[in-house]
A = this chain, B = another copy of it.
């Protein structure tokens, strides 16, 4: 399988290559960082993205074996279904979708996430919005019999966001994280889409 990059994206990548300056990313890490900068025009992400050891390999392997991909919100799903559909066709589920009434004391996204976690504990989980849902997942992980294949932790905002990412960092789950307040649906989608591109390389 091979993906053709749109000429405008290739030109954008060339601009980023010229402007990013020195860094210590591996080529796979840089492919992910560059795609995030492409989706935000914000070079600060160069200093915010963290990879746990083996996270990229775990993500690529999981994509190739077509594990489900669970997103916190619909915008993240919308940002990845195109490329997923053209490539490995993993099922993509938005956790919040279809949750009319949250569990007592929980947000709708948290409620939906816990439901998805029970159904697909080994999924790839992608957070671009909801820190409450990321925190809920992190609380399940220590007692879990199986771990998610990968967690992409990129909620955005001012309340519980930094805490949710710090909590994720303390877990042993393979993870790609955006430190601090920044993040968002396009950032989370860019990380997953970059992984899909990496997963197509060397496929026979």
Q: Which residues on A are within 8 Å of B, measured CB to CB? A: 8, 11-12, 15-16, 38-42, 74-75, 77-79, 107, 132, 156-161, 180-186, 189
Contacts and interface: CB of A to CB of B under 8 A. Distances in A.
Given A185-B185, A186-B186, A157 B79 contact: no
Instruction: Rank and list the top 10 A-B pairs by shortest CB-CB distance, nearest first.
Output: A41-B181, A15-B158, A12-B158, A78-B78, A75-B78, A41-B182, A11-B159, A74-B78, A8-B159, A41-B156
Contacts of A157: 12, 38, 41
A75 B41 contact: no
Chain copies in the assembly?
2
Contacts of A77: 78
A154 to B, nearest CB: 11
B78 A159 contact: no
A181 B74 CA distance: 25
A158 B75 contact: no
Nearest to A186: B184
